Structure 1
Amino acid sequence: MFLWLANVYRLGVKELRSLVFDPVLLLLIVYVFTLAIYAVATGAKLEVQNASVAYVDEDRSALSGRIISAILPPEFDTPVEISADRIDASMDSGAFVFVLRFPPEFEADLLAGRKSEIQLNVDATAMAQAGNGTVFLQSIIQAETAKFLSGNEDAAALPINLVVRAMFNPNLDSSWFNAVMQVINNVTILSVLLTGAALIREREHGTIEHLLVMPVKPSEIMVAKIWANGLAIVVAAVLSLVFVVQLLLGVPIHGSIALFVFGALIYMISVTGLGILIATFTTSMPQFGLLALPVLVIMNLLSGSTTPMESMPEWLQAVMQVSPSTHFVAFAQAILYRGAGLTTVWPSLVAMSVLSAVFFVIALSRFRKTMAGAR
């Protein structure tokens, strides 16, 4: 046992040295956990911000003017008046996200007790912005209309005082969500890519033949690649959480980073094993990349990091329980967002541990066959 651990340690150190002297992989790790995190967190906005609005005012009344003047930054740009015949062309060209059209006699109909309609054209290409912006505009129109008809600025107030408490993200800032989830997703991506690339690199450089004639076992080679590459990724992820997410972006981390690291290390066994498993079916980096790409896309998109699991079909939710990324996302979100402790996240830890053992056994079995064939 001592000899096995010593071999695993020495082979792992060799892996770390290979990684240190590979400028492309080093640059990839640095980019993925720094610039990529910052760019996604600050550039990919889910909330409505600076949405372009146009209006067609065929009423020219005090009420229509009041509604238009209530559409303000930062949610919306200053509304632009256009003619009715330009609505379709403006929407087709993407010049405006929202176009309001006030009909003739709009104010007069309301004052006379008759119903009137305002047309709101929405470019729903960006669904999140379109949906949220529509809700904001509806609230503005209803509030301003109620105040105008009653002559009381407080008339829009409801008899019930609804107190909204947004927990864990009080300002509903999407950068808080995007920054942390990007770190979590990048852990999965790099875990698969680095370990798979390590095995492919052995073949391309001819060092795999050196390992075959050495008194080392396939399990020692595989475990060494897992701990060395996993350690590099976990260290990079923690540094990214502290310096990029917390300090640079100002996103608070509510839970224990030590507990997150513990779960990430368990998760590493499954995803790094997956990377080695994929690499055993390929002979070059291009082949490995083409085979790993669809696997990573499915793992990230359906893990709950992009779309809540509850919004997926029940059969798909059941299928994704066999993916370790599903449990890792739930585990990381509970700790980093909501400050959950071990008593809350232990089911995810158990699931990750079981899946890690299964993935490791499958990958090791395939790796042994590959090594035996290479002999």
Structure 2
Amino acid sequence: MPRRLSLRHIGQLGFKEFRSLSGDMAMMFLVVFMFTGSVYSESTAKPESLNRATIAVVDEDRSQLSTRIIAALHPPQFIDPQYVDLAEMDRGMDAGRHTFVLDIPPNFERDVLAGRAPALQLNVDATRLSQAQTGTGYVQNIVGNEVQAFVQRSQDSVAAPLELVSRSAFNPNLQASWFTAITAIINNVTMLGILLTGAALIREREHGTLEHLLVMPVTPLEIMLSKIWSMGVVVVLASSLSLQVMVKGLLGISVVGSATLFGFSTLLYLFAAASIGIYMGTLARSMPQFGLMSILVLLPLEILSGATTPRESMPEQIQYLMSFAPTTHYVALAQSILFRGAGLSVVWPQLLMVAAIGAVFFALALRRLRRTIGAMQS
């Protein structure tokens, strides 16, 4: 007759996991870094939007149109333009003082009004790759918009019967850091949810404490539940603090969603992620082997879940396959909560899917753990 589940044993074993984790300096450093330095670096190191790029202007026209164009090159995309002459243009580019130099030729305004389509020269320092690629498009759009507005006003053209006004929802300024910071937290929850539980199981085996547990009145289910709740609490607290301190505080990113609902969703998702980690921990025989196995599992989960690229842009076969992964549904509900302020009435289908898939992985991991323990006892 199977023994009844003991909540006391689960609680005590969970607190033992806290003590074990606190003594593992490598894992403690990983938890702290992934929710602080990693989030900050991913949101600021490689911005997709242009920010404070250096630009100089050679204004050979000195006209009203050239003045309008120069005035449109303003912060935060560009530092206030510096006026240079033709001789200084090359020296500034060679010295690395300017990423962009815009050369406005003589009689530019006159040629524009006469319909001659004059050419502007934009010199770009291509060694600054990220700014060079993005900034070229910025300058082209700014010049095109200013020329079009100037020509329409000068020729008293009739206004178009339809005007398209675009509005960027949820991220009005299209700041890349708003997306990358939240995405970093979501991906780190997946990574640490799997790594911490799997590493905890392997640490038991390497230190010989798993054999001690086998002679105690505890069951594999109690061992597994203790590792899931303890490591889940660690990740939920770390991700919640990262959202409040790093994202909202240090980075100043506006998050309109409910932090409580996000925390509950994360805790439910960690039930599935931790089950995957325990299953992998029963397969791996050492920590290096577990690390190599984690690479093969984490990369598809993070890249194909929709956190980096929308699922709609992926092949239909990949979309169907990833619909059986809990990460896909967690990413969808986390983005809905944190980006769009969605409530429980919107994300409950994803929550149900995470719970259902998590139950399947939990059953598989428990079955594998029982087999592993049974083999050790025999």
Normalising by structure 2, what TM-score? Answer: 0.82
Q: 1:78, CA displacement in angstroms?
A: 6.1
Counterpart secondary structure, 2:323: helix
Q: Assess, with a 3 A threshold, how the Cα gap between structure 1 residues 332 and 292 changes in structure 2: closer, same or farther.
A: same
Paired AA for residue 279 in structure 1: G
Q: 1:293, CA displacement in angstroms?
A: 1.6
- Preserved contact between residue 52 and residue 77 of structure 1 (Cα < 8 Å): yes
Q: Structure 2 CA distance, aligned partners of 1:156 and 1:374?
A: 85
The match for 1:367 is: 369
Range with greater deviation from structure 2 (73-82 or 347-356): 73-82
Q: 1:48, CA displacement in angstroms?
A: 1.5
Q: 1:209, CA displacement in angstroms?
A: 1.3
Normalising by structure 1, what TM-score? Answer: 0.83
Q: Assess, with a 3 A threshold, how the Cα gap between structure 1 residues 156 and 314 changes in structure 2: closer, same or farther.
A: farther
Residue 228 in structure 1 maps to residue 230 in structure 2: yes
- Preserved contact between residue 147 and residue 153 of structure 1 (Cα < 8 Å): no
* Paired residues, number: 375
Q: Structure 1 CA distance, aligned partners of 2:245 and 2:74?
A: 35
Paired AA for residue 357 in structure 2: L
The match for 1:324 is: 326
Q: Deviations over 1:235-284 (max 9, x none)?
A: 22122222222233332332222222222122111111111122222222
Counterpart secondary structure, 2:365: helix
The match for 1:166 is: 168
Q: Deviations over 1:274-326 (max 9, x none)?
A: 11122222222111111102321221122211112222222222222122111
Paired AA for residue 272 in structure 1: A
Kindly, what percent of the aligned residue pairs are identical? Answer: 49
Paired AA for residue 217 in structure 1: T
Range with greater deviation from structure 2 (332-341 or 171-180): 171-180
Q: Assess, with a 3 A threshold, how the Cα gap between structure 1 residues 57 and 311 changes in structure 2: closer, same or farther.
A: farther
Paired AA for residue 290 in structure 1: L
Q: Structure 1 CA distance, aligned partners of 2:156 and 2:286?
A: 70
Paired AA for residue 257 in structure 1: A
Paired AA for residue 167 in structure 1: A
Q: Of 291, 301, 305, which aligns to 2:293?
A: 291
Q: Of 254, 262, 265, which aligns to 1:263?
A: 265
Q: Structure 2 CA distance, aligned partners of 1:52 and 1:193?
A: 43
Counterpart secondary structure, 1:337: helix
- Preserved contact between residue 5 and residue 222 of structure 2 (Cα < 8 Å): no
Range with greater deviation from structure 2 (244-253 or 205-214): 244-253
- Preserved contact between residue 270 and residue 359 of structure 1 (Cα < 8 Å): yes
- Preserved contact between residue 196 and residue 276 of structure 1 (Cα < 8 Å): yes
The match for 1:238 is: 240
Q: Structure 1 CA distance, aligned partners of 2:56 and 2:313?
A: 33
Q: 1:180, CA displacement in angstroms?
A: 1.9
The match for 1:49 is: 51
Counterpart secondary structure, 1:322: coil
CA-based RMSD of the aligned residues comes to 3.8
Q: Structure 1 CA distance, aligned partners of 2:101 and 2:292?
A: 44
Q: Structure 2 CA distance, aligned partners of 1:83 and 1:134?
A: 21
Residue 71 in structure 1 maps to residue 73 in structure 2: yes
Q: Assess, with a 3 A threshold, how the Cα gap between structure 1 residues 124 and 5 changes in structure 2: closer, same or farther.
A: farther
The match for 1:303 is: 305
Q: 1:190, CA displacement in angstroms?
A: 0.7
Q: Assess, with a 3 A threshold, how the Cα gap between structure 1 residues 361 and 153 changes in structure 2: closer, same or farther.
A: farther
Question: Which residues of 2 match residues 114-129 of structure 1 at below 5 A?
Answer: 114-118=116-120
Q: Structure 2 CA distance, aligned partners of 1:374 and 1:154?
A: 88
Range with greater deviation from structure 2 (134-143 or 196-205): 134-143
The match for 1:21 is: 23
Q: Structure 1 CA distance, aligned partners of 2:357 and 2:124?
A: 45
Question: Which residues of 2 match residues 79-228 of structure 1 at below 5 A?
Answer: 109-118=111-120, 133-149=135-151, 152=154, 160=162, 162-228=164-230
Residue 34 in structure 1 maps to residue 36 in structure 2: yes
- Preserved contact between residue 147 and residue 155 of structure 1 (Cα < 8 Å): no
Question: Which residues of 2 match residues 341-352 of structure 1 at below 5 A?
Answer: 341-352=343-354
Range with greater deviation from structure 2 (45-54 or 316-325): 45-54
Q: Assess, with a 3 A threshold, how the Cα gap between structure 1 residues 149 and 344 changes in structure 2: closer, same or farther.
A: closer
Q: 1:35, CA displacement in angstroms?
A: 2.7
Range with greater deviation from structure 2 (112-121 or 193-202): 112-121
